[in-house]
């Protein structure tokens, strides 16, 4: 009778370790992302800083549509620089703490939306103002994109 | 007996564990300025929770210190893994694939069995010998490095910025590096790399190199050349792109491919010469993998003999010994990350100069060694 072959714990650990590295990137693969393996859980240099160059403009209006100065966080706060950034260079610098190592360039707009929502709640708890953010980006080797976010539309 | 059953000299796993723990601490330290801005943005509008990401960084540092001490190994490793995973869950903007590689290596170091050693043991003058341990940790590190190369090749073959176009290299040289870093290598490389056909050539060369390195690293005949080529590739990448922890994790991992305890090199120094005695004593202390025989002896002030019997005298011979010990990688990492990114404008040009000088010294020592051998 042939002796039964078993795997030592070392082999199980090794197999699991390798399987995890295949399964994690595959589980995070999305058809919209090029290439599918580019992520913070893979070995690409492009889980890296943003390559998009963006122009951003925020407007802050009263209920009657008149534009008023946007309340800003204190001097030195990274969100202040983000709200004030207009040129591409200013925006690249200011958006680093949003998505220091973005998985794709559009991640910046998703992270920016989240910060703007919190800013709106912080400075306008009664919902009397309207915040409009207009972000236009061009990536050197990707498709340009634009998104307009309006927070606090009059009811 | 397969590679997963053969015991290994425990000095290698000990050096790998201490090295990964050291790099973990340096990585945390150098990420702090960047992370503090991420935390400020993350906590905007919910300032009461700002302590949470800082607490996770502190826990990761405590765990890394435990790993450096190699006690308690599993609990310390679990603390690092849990804290870094928690940080990613809380503030995803902090995460990078360098941290992913660190995370995997910390897991490998913490959950593989072996005798306790730690950095203190490695730095002792008279290290008590360790019993052999299972081969799992070196095997995991070797496999991890090969997975990194093959994964990187896969990305390069499918990514429209690579695929032989060289576009990304031109972007890095002309847009990214001038705006983010202060080293002078980019000033030398940018005019070359911004030429499209040169960028394409470098792109194809890097992809081909990464595809073949894993194969050559497992071939006993080609391993030495592959280790030298890979080390040069990572030094060049580090000095051009400053990719945080990545270069050091990979360079440390290279030691898992090399010999341990072979005492193939020889070092003799004159005990009457002060500088030579100091070099000999420190060199022996830092020879963590037991690659050389260290003997005080009258004669040349400081003499290094390579495995082929070729000898080189003088302080330049130290350059030949530097690649034999993981301590070199840890010192290099300290040079590159020790300022925590706070002095980058001064440190990056200095780092470029120190590394260029070290590579020139190594090359000069190799040339003199070969010339001495071929001379009549």
Report pLDDT digits (tens) over A116-142: 999 999 999 888 899 999 999 887 666
Alpha carbons A140 and A45: distance in angstroms, whole number? 16
Q: B208-239: b or e for each residue (b if 16 or more CB lie within 10 Å)?
A: ebbbebbebbeeeeebeebbebbbebbbbbbb
Between chain A and chain B, the number of residue pairs with CB atoms below 8 A apart is: 134
Bridge partners of A148?
A134
Helix (H/G/I), strand (E/B), else coil: B294: strand
Find chain B residues with C-beta within 8 A of A39's C-beta: 97
Alpha carbons A119 and A127: distance in angstroms, whole number? 12
**Is residue A54 a contact partner of residue A95, using CB atoms and an 8 Å limit?**
yes
Q: Do A13 and B112 touch (CB under 8 A)?
A: yes
Residue in A with minimal Cα distance to B99: A40
Alpha carbons B177 and B327: distance in angstroms, whole number? 29
Q: State whether A72 and A132 are in the same domain.
A: yes
A142 is a domain residue: yes
Q: What pLDDT sits at residue A78?
A: 93
Tens digits of residue pLDDT in B121-157? 999 988 888 988 888 999 999 999 999 998 889 888 8
Q: What angle do CA B119, B71, B4 make, to 5 degrees?
A: 80
Alpha carbons A67 and A58: distance in angstroms, whole number? 11
Q: Do A13 and B45 touch (CB under 8 A)?
A: no
Alpha carbons B331 and B317: distance in angstroms, whole number? 18
Helix (H/G/I), strand (E/B), else coil: B242: coil
**Is residue B241 a contact partner of residue B175, using CB atoms and an 8 Å limit?**
no
Q: A25 to chain B, minimum CA–CA distance in Å?
A: 10
Q: State whether A33 and A96 are in the same domain.
A: no
Tens digits of residue pLDDT in B245-290? 999 999 999 999 999 999 999 999 999 999 999 999 999 999 999 9
Residue from the list B4, B152, B241 with its beta carbon closest to the beta carbon of A14:
B4
Band (B303; pLDDT cuts 50, 70, 90): very high
Which chain A residues in 87-126 lie under 8 Å from chain B, judged by CB atoms? 89, 92, 96-101, 111, 115, 118-119, 121-122
A79 is a domain residue: yes
Alpha carbons B95 and A119: distance in angstroms, whole number? 24
Helix (H/G/I), strand (E/B), else coil: B304: strand
Q: State whether A36 and A61 are in the same domain.
A: no
Q: What pLDDT sits at residue A33?
A: 67
**Is residue B138 a contact partner of residue B13, using CB atoms and an 8 Å limit?**
yes
Tokens of B230: 């890979």
Residue from the list A14, A40, A42 with its beta carbon closest to the beta carbon of B140:
A14
Q: Do B155 and A46 touch (CB under 8 A)?
A: yes
Instruction: Using alpha carbons, select from B158, B120, B114, B337 the residue that is nearest to residue B243.
Output: B337
Q: What pLDDT sits at residue B117?
A: 94
Q: State whether A87 and A114 are in the same domain.
A: yes
Q: What pLDDT sits at residue B121?
A: 94
What is the domain extent for residue A21?
9-47
Instruction: Using alpha carbons, select from A73, A147, A74, A152 the residue that is nearest to residue A113.
Output: A147
Compute the half-sphere exposure of residue B196: CA atoms within 13 Å on the CB side of its CA.
Answer: 2
A2 is a domain residue: no
Q: What is the dihedral sign for C-alpha B140, B141, B143, B147? A: positive
Q: Where does chain B have alpha helices with state H?
A: 11-42, 51-69, 73-90, 97-110, 118-123, 136-158, 167-171, 177-180, 185-193, 196-218, 223-241, 246-254, 274-286, 318-321, 327-337, 344-374
Alpha carbons B330 and B319: distance in angstroms, whole number? 16
Band (B67; pLDDT cuts 50, 70, 90): very high
Instruction: Using alpha carbons, select from B206, B149, B146 the residue that is nearest to residue B172.
Output: B206
Q: What pLDDT sits at residue B81?
A: 97
Q: B150-161: b or e for each residue (b if 16 or more CB lie within 10 Å)?
A: ebbbbbbeebeb
A3 is a domain residue: no
Band (A99; pLDDT cuts 50, 70, 90): confident
DSSP B273: S
Helix (H/G/I), strand (E/B), else coil: A5: coil
Instruction: Using alpha carbons, select from B203, B226, B213, B217 the residue that is nearest to residue B149.
Output: B213
Q: Which of A34, A44, A105 to mutate to test the interface with B (most CBs of B within 10 A)?
A: A44
Q: State whether A64 and A43 are in the same domain.
A: no
Q: State whether A41 and A57 are in the same domain.
A: no
A23 is a domain residue: yes
ipTM for the whole complex: 0.86
A4 is a domain residue: no
Q: Tokens 């940018």 correspond to what residue?
A: B190
Instruction: Give the count of beta carbons closer than 10 Å to the beta carbon of residue B349.
Output: 16
Q: What pLDDT sits at residue A123?
A: 92
A42 is a domain residue: yes
Q: B291 to chain A, minimum CA–CA distance in Å?
A: 28
Q: State whether A41 and A59 are in the same domain.
A: no
Is residue A1's pLDDT more than 60? no
Q: State whether A82 and A117 are in the same domain.
A: yes
Instruction: Using alpha carbons, select from B111, B117, B103 the residue that is nearest to residue B20.
Output: B103
Which chain A residues in 52-71 lie under 8 Å from chain B, judged by CB atoms? none
Q: State whether A111 and A133 are in the same domain.
A: yes
Counting every residue written for chain A, the total comes to: 155
Q: State whether A28 and A104 are in the same domain.
A: no
**Is residue B242 a contact partner of residue B271, using CB atoms and an 8 Å limit?**
no
Find chain B residues with C-beta within 8 A of A37's C-beta: 151, 154-155, 158
The mean pLDDT of B81-104, rounded to a whole number, is 93
Q: What pLDDT sits at residue A141?
A: 63
Find chain B residues with C-beta within 8 A of A121's C-beta: 45
Q: State whether A14 and A88 are in the same domain.
A: no
**Is residue B312 a contact partner of residue B304, using CB atoms and an 8 Å limit?**
yes
Q: What angle do CA B251, B257, B263 make, to 5 degrees?
A: 105
A110 is a domain residue: yes
Q: State whether A73 and A136 are in the same domain.
A: yes
Query: What total number of domains does chain A contain?
Result: 2
Residue in A with minimal Cα distance to B31: A100
């Amino acid at each position: 009778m042939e002796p039964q072959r078993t795997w030592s714990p070392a082999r199980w650990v090794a197999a699991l370790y390798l399987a995890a590295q295949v399964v994690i990137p595959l589980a995070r693969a999305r058809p919209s992302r090029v290439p599918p393996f580019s992520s913070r859980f893979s070995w690409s240099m492009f889980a890296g800083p943003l390559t998009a160059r963006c122009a951003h403009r925020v407007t802050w209006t009263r209920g009657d549509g008149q534009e008023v100065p946007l309340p800003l966080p204190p001097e030195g706060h990274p969100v202040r620089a983000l709200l004030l950034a207009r040129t591409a260079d200013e925006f690249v610098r200011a958006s680093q703490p949003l998505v220091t190592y973005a998985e794709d360039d559009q991640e910046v707009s998703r992270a920016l939306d989240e910060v703007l929502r919190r800013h709106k709640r912080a400075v306008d708890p009664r919902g009397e103002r309207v915040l409009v953010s207009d972000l236009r980006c061009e990536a050197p080797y990707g498709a340009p994109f634009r998104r307009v976010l309006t927070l606090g539309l009059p009811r | 007996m397969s590679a997963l059953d053969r015991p290994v000299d425990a000095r290698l796993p000990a050096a790998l564990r201490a090295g990964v723990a050291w790099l973990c601490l340096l990585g945390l330290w150098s990420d702090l300025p960047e992370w503090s801005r991420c935390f400020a943005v993350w906590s905007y509008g919910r300032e009461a929770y700002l302590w949470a990401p800082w607490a996770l960084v502190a826990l990761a540092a405590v765990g890394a210190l435990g790993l450096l001490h190699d006690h308690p190994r599993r609990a310390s490793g679990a603390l690092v893994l849990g804290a870094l995973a928690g940080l990613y869950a809380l503030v995803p903007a902090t995460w990078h694939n360098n941290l992913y590689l660190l995370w995997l290596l910390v897991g490998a170091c913490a959950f593989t069995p072996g005798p306790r050693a730690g950095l203190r043991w490695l730095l002792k003058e008279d290290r008590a010998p360790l019993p052999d341990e299972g081969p799992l940790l070196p095997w995991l590190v070797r496999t991890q490095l090969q997975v990194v190369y093959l994964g990187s090749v896969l990305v390069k073959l499918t990514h429209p910025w690579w695929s032989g176009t060289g576009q990304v290299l031109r972007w890095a040289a002309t847009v990214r590096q001038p705006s983010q870093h202060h080293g002078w290598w980019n000033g030398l490389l940018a005019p070359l790399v911004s030429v499209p056909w040169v960028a394409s050539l470098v792109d194809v060369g890097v992809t081909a190199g990464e595809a073949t390195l894993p194969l050559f690293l497992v071939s006993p005949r080609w391993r030495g050349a592959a280790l030298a080529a890979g080390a040069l590739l990572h030094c060049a990448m580090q000095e051009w792109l400053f990719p945080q922890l990545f270069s050091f994790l990979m360079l440390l991992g290279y030691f898992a491919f090399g010999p341990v305890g072979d005492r193939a090199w020889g070092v003799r120094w004159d005990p009457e010469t002060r500088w030579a005695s100091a070099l000999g004593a420190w060199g022996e202390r830092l020879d963590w993998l037991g690659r050389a025989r260290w003997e005080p002896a009258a004669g040349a002030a400081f003499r290094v003999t390579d495995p082929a019997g070729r000898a080189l005298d003088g302080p330049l011979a130290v350059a030949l010994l530097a690649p034999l010990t993981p301590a070199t990688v840890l010192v290099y990492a300290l040079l590159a990350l020790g300022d925590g990114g706070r002095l980058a404008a001064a440190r990056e040009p200095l780092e470029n100069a120190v590394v260029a000088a070290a590579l020139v010294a190594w090359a000069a020592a190799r040339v003199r060694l070969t010339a001495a051998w071929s001379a009549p």
